[in-house]
Chains A and B, each alone.
With several copies, the nearest count.
Chain A
Amino acid sequence: MECASSPARIAVRIQREDFDAAAQANALTRGRADVGAVVTFTGLCRDEGGKLAALELEHYPGMAEDEIARVAAEAESRWPILGGVAIHRYGKIAPGENIVLVVIASSHRAAAFEAAEFMMDYLKTRAPFWKKEHLKDGREGAWVEAKDVDDAAADRWRAT
């Protein structure tokens, strides 16, 4: 038997359209009985106490896909992952709407939780996306500032 290179287990998509988290998660487990744990993370747009009309998500086309694929490849090398999906939206997103989805399927829960959290931490600090606020009073708000706490969250995966 030929030795084929293993296919990417975590699919990556960058899109303007909304996604269906449940359909994505179900597709990972359908017709198989080796998945014991599925962790789904959905990141949503908050209205920041009512002041926000929308977030405008700018991205670097091409690099956004590549960088999330690199994060996914690292997750696959660190945890036994049976399947996964990472979807990041761009464009104008209203409060309550989805921004990002990470789903990880594994035999065991610790791997699924860790890989999903790792993906989110790395994606937040490495994927080329930027959020600009649009305020309810019609004004264009500021660019969202990167948080030290996100860098710290990503850094903790280096110790392991």
Chain B
Amino acid sequence: MSQPIKLSYFAWVRERIGRPDETLQPPADVRTVADLIAWLSARGEEYAYAFEKATVIRVAIDRKHVKQDSPIEGAREIAFFPPMTGG
């Protein structure tokens, strides 16, 4: 039942993973943002490096900030990035 999701990466998360975005279809047991981070981290060194301090990573689902325990069901785009430093 899982859908393909566009994943976007910004700042040093993007640099570490080596691409700005990609579309992946996580398995059905990946239910929350935290599950998704764990699943990605197991995909390769670049992901493990990007998410090595998973708790500092900020996440947005469909362009809204969410917490890591948020469910990802129905998400079209999930973005991962460091704490913001604009302003």
Contact = CB atoms under 8 A, between A and B. Distances in A.
**Chains A, B in direct contact (C-beta < 8 Å):** yes
B82 interface: yes
B86 A63 contact: no
Nearest to B87: A124
B63 A62 contact: yes
Given A62-B63, A63-B79, A146 B10 contact: no
Contact of B11 (A64, A99, A120, A130): A130
Interface in A47-68: 57-60, 62-64, 66-67
A130 B86 contact: yes
B67 to A, nearest CB: 14
Contacts of A123: 86-87
Given A60-B79, A66-B63, A130 B85 contact: yes
A124 B84 CA distance: 7
Given A63-B63, A143-B12, A129 B85 contact: yes
Q: Which of A57, A123, A127, A128: most chain B Cβ within 10 A?
A: A128
Interface of B: 8, 10-12, 14, 60, 63-65, 79, 81-87
Given A128-B79, A131-B86, A146-B85, 16 more contacts: A57-B86, A60-B8, A60-B10, A67-B65, A100-B86, A100-B87, A123-B87, A124-B87, A127-B84, A130-B10, A130-B82, A130-B85, A132-B11, A143-B12, A143-B82, A146-B82
